[in-house]
Amino acid sequence: MITRKRFAAGLCALFAALSMGLAPSAAYAADEPDDTDDGAKPKVELVLDVSGSMRARDIDGKSRMAAAKQAFNEVLDATPEDVDLGIRTLGANYHGNDRKTGCKDTEQLYPVGPLDRRDAKTAVATLSPTGWTPIGPALLKAADDLKGGEGSRRIVLISDGEDTCQPLDPCEVAREIAAKGVNLTVDTLGLVPNTKMRAQLSCIAEATGGTYTSIRHTDELSDRVGQLVDRAADPVVNPVAVDGADSCSAAPELKPGLYTDRAGFGEHRWYRVDVAPGKELRASVSVGADRAVNNDYGVLLRAVTKHDREIVRGSEAGDGRTDVISTGLRYPKPERDDDEDDEKETVCLQVSHSYSPAAGAAAKGKPGLPLELAVDVVDAPDGSSDVAAFGLGRGWWLLGALVLTGFVGGVLWGWLSRWRVAVWRTN
């Protein structure tokens, strides 16, 4: 006769066997390790304002120049070995009052390349606050300093005042740099900032996808510059510059990857992607407002056939609370039984936005607003793929195990209840 203890032990053993048999093996569930190579070494150039205003003694009881030197020394000690680093100055050499000469005062103090910490520190130690604040010319030169290679490129600009070399607007310079699609980011740090300086440095950073930080203490400067240099060493996917067309027939053909372009006010940008039967197109786009725009705007991404029949679309809208709007779409192309139809389909992607220049702002159409387009073509989801049709992926294993375990447990519990009732009636 089966005792209750034996039955309970058998029930536990059955559940354990079910769990072991139905659960996916660790080897199957674990993702394969990435065998990627981050390619060329990242490049960073620190651009330091050495104008006369850097003599002011308002950072922890010492001059702004002294705080910058201390921060630079700490950053140079901590710079990763796999980062090529350089230093450029602005306003470091010319003592006079001639505007034309002062606005050319920018030089590369230490070339971008493998870092010799002792030489770099020696060069920084020689700096003394001197002249003008030619931010625009310094950014142009710094962009040239970082040319070449496939790694990420970053300018870290440290300044204590707005540019004194107008009409070369440093914000427009940053937009021109971004429009070239050179994968270069400008981060700005303002020392003891005022409203005008904060606005200008923020504009420079936003135009290239960088960040702006206000600095009032030496340790803040050291920490932030160090973070930005370390960030340059992180593996990144650099977008490829591409020129979208004004029609599908003239559009460039894109392979899976990340792309950057510019779209003016009221302008549509077209691109083409080939999608084979049994594959799925996944695309997303982000459009940023790098200048003053009206509130209430949207971004539209459409996938259409070569004959302008819409397949699918994605859209998103904003109301002035954010600078970037993103949307995406998916198009799975089904398998074909007929060999004659088993060919790639050309899908045209149309990107448009409804940004408009803010009232009272100059309607500058060139360069257009920055956009980033991500394109991927993957195996279409089906019953045999790793990614299930409803997006649960390998979670189907767990769901199936839970359902089956619940069913078996319910049957056994019902049988146990009936057995207990039968035993009770017998006794």
CATH code (residue 150): 3.40.50.410
Q: Indicate if 222 and 364 belong to the same structural domain.
A: no
Q: CATH code at 360?
A: 2.60.120
Q: Indicate if 56 and 174 belong to the same structural domain.
A: yes
Nearest Cα to Cα of residue 150 among 62, 281, 74, 39: 39
Is the overall model pTM greater than 0.85, yes or no? no
pLDDT (0 to 100) of residue 233: 78
Q: Indicate if 174 and 276 belong to the same structural domain.
A: no
Is 75 part of any domain? yes
Q: Indicate if 221 and 261 belong to the same structural domain.
A: no
- The string of pLDDT tens digits covering residues 356-405 is 887 765 555 677 888 999 999 988 765 433 333 334 444 556 667 777 77
Give Cβ neighbours of residue 417 (< 8 Å, ≥ 6 apart). none
Q: Indicate if 106 and 178 belong to the same structural domain.
A: yes
Give Cβ neighbours of residue 388 (< 8 Å, ≥ 6 apart). 381, 395, 396
pLDDT (0 to 100) of residue 401: 72
Q: Indicate if 117 and 199 belong to the same structural domain.
A: yes
For 290, the domain range is: 256-379
- Count of CB atoms within 10 A of residue 338's CB? 6
Is 411 part of any domain? no
- Count of CB atoms within 10 A of residue 275's CB? 19
Q: Are 91 and 130 in contact (CB under 8 A)?
A: yes
> What is the count of structural domains for the chain?
2
Is 237 part of any domain? no
Q: Indicate if 319 and 371 belong to the same structural domain.
A: yes
Q: Indicate if 179 and 265 belong to the same structural domain.
A: no
- The string of pLDDT tens digits covering residues 295-315 is 888 999 999 998 889 999 999
Is 240 part of any domain? no
- The string of pLDDT tens digits covering residues 104-163 is 999 999 999 999 999 999 999 999 998 889 999 999 999 999 988 778 889 999 999 888
Is 158 part of any domain? yes
Residue 221 has pLDDT above 80, yes or no: yes
Residue 78 identity: A
pLDDT (0 to 100) of residue 322: 57
Is 418 part of any domain? no
DSSP string, 22-82: HSPPHHHHSPPPP-----SPPEEEEEEE-SGGGG---BTTB-HHHHHHHHHHHHHHH--TT
Q: Indicate if 135 and 171 belong to the same structural domain.
A: yes
Q: Indicate if 210 and 339 belong to the same structural domain.
A: no
Q: Indicate if 82 and 155 belong to the same structural domain.
A: yes
Q: Are 45 and 155 in contact (CB under 8 A)?
A: yes
Q: Indicate if 61 and 173 belong to the same structural domain.
A: yes
Q: How confident is the model at residue 74 (pLDDT cuts 50, 70, 90)?
A: very high
